[in-house]
Structure 1
Amino acid sequence: MARPNYIELPTRDLAASQTFYEKAFGWSLTGFGPSYACTMTGDVDIGLQADAAEATKAPLTVIQVDALEEALAAVTVAGGTIVRPIFSFPGGRRFHFTDPSGNELAVMQPEAHQD
């Protein structure tokens, strides 16, 4: 089942944004290098992207799926435009697309956990 599971926010100042969300909402954010931090609740999480080369222009909704390649094909057939092909990131793989109205979204498949 596909469901939104992540919202990534572009930020100019990671430390200031992290402090804001921690104080305003009591969120605990985990740092992943100098330009990224996120909540890790296992529900709908929030990421803060401070790398201008990686950040989107607006908040990025990320949709979780079980089969990334199938989702890419379905998005393409439905009329979406792939703006960033499948790539790996800590925790899985994803791609970005724009819908017919020009909204950028991402689709991700978490990496398989080895028990």
Structure 2
Amino acid sequence: MEKHHKINYIEFPVKNIPETKAFFAQVFEWQFVDYGDDYCAVSNAALDAGFFQSDQIMTTSNGSALIVIYSEQLEQTHQKILEANGQITKPIFSFPGGRRFHFSDLNGNEYAVWSDK
């Protein structure tokens, strides 16, 4: 795939990098590379990303883009988020093309998970 003018990296503000890494490793099996105490790179998430130390919170209500993660097993992912102490902010609902729900991680950042299954 051509990379020119394509989104290839995204960075997320997080209050606690170690806890955030544990949450996303447990729920989504993401992996990380630390670059000091205030930054880590995310891999195994389809799009490369990073977590940076910040007190800011990303939610759609404060104008942030919504990061949407795909799951082949929506209910199982929903349960894993709850088990990892994430909060469901919008329960599973249908939309043209599939179903999804929204959640916040341990930092209060908002994400969505969707499935076409």
TM-score normalised over the length of structure 2: 0.47
TM-score normalised over the length of structure 1: 0.48
